Amino acid sequence: MLKKENKKIKKAWPTKAAMTQVYEKKLWGSNNTDFYSGEGSHHPDLVDPYINAVTSFLNSFEEPITVCDLGCGDFNIGKELFKHTKRYIAVDIVEALIQRNKQLFKADNLEFYCLDIAVNNLPSGDCVLLRQVLQHLSNSEVQQIVSKLGAYKYVVLTEHLPEGEFIPNKDIISGQGIRLKKQSGINLLLPPFNMKVIDEIQLLAIQLKDRPGVIVTTLYKLF
């Protein structure tokens, strides 16, 4: 049993180490803070439309729902969303980042957990937010995550995609890079993931001005 557990921990380690290094070495830049999740989580042209679109979705329910933010990063975006939920569960793989978030952001309906979402069990809830997370993960890890998404009613997925037609879901090694370098991007409805949904609505598409690609946010209804 001990060997199996150690093997499982070892499997989770490379991605955890890679993402920890991103923050330690400030590979996504810095704004004079210890933890910075990059321009994609801070530039108003990218952040404000996303917050508006997701807030509108969250406020469309008669009763607030429980949201799981998988890959919450430095929480610059989550801090604007949790107030619109019954319960907001923010998850990231970097332990020091989660400890920092716990100190900075406190509310009765807000919780933080350090989890590897490809390996660990996920918190229960109504909706999952996956904002520019899967684009950094290998197909094997994405598949493990997809296998758990059926426990939720809604998935709000944001991915940085090439413009125009492209071959989706080319595999990569997990880390700071994304599939855009291979002229590819994530499409969960296509092989090898084949996620089953009953509805698909594009909430947002942001054309980037200073680099290639478009950042697309899609709402999936699962059941």
pTM: 0.90
**Is residue 152 a contact partner of residue 129, using CB atoms and an 8 Å limit?**
no
Where would I find the H helices in 111-213?
A: 139-149
pLDDT at position 222: 97
**Domain containing 200 — which CATH number?**
3.40.50.150
- Laid out side by side, the sheet with 110-114 consists of 110-114, 87-92, 66-70, 127-131, 154-161, 214-221, 199-207
pLDDT in the model for residue 220: 98
Report whether 156 contacts 222 (CB < 8 A).
Answer: no
Please state, as a whole number, how many other Cβ atoms lie within 10 Å of the Cβ of residue 144: 16
**What tokens does 169 get?**
């879901």
Q: Which pLDDT does position 168 carry in this prediction? A: 98
Q: What does the alpha-carbon distance between residue 109 and residue 116 come to, in Å, rounded to a whole number? A: 22
Written as six digits, the tokens of 126 are 């109504």
**For each successive 10 residues of the chain (223 residues), what is the average pLDDT?**
38 71 71 69 91 98 98 95 98 94 97 96 98 95 97 98 96 90 97 97 93 95 92
**Containing structural domain, residue 135:** 2-221
Q: How many Cα atoms occupy the beta-carbon half-sphere of 132 within 13 Å?
A: 20
What is the H or E stretch that residue 24 is in?
Answer: helix 2-24
Contact 195, 220 (CB under 8 A): yes
Q: Please tell me the total count of domains within the chain.
A: 1
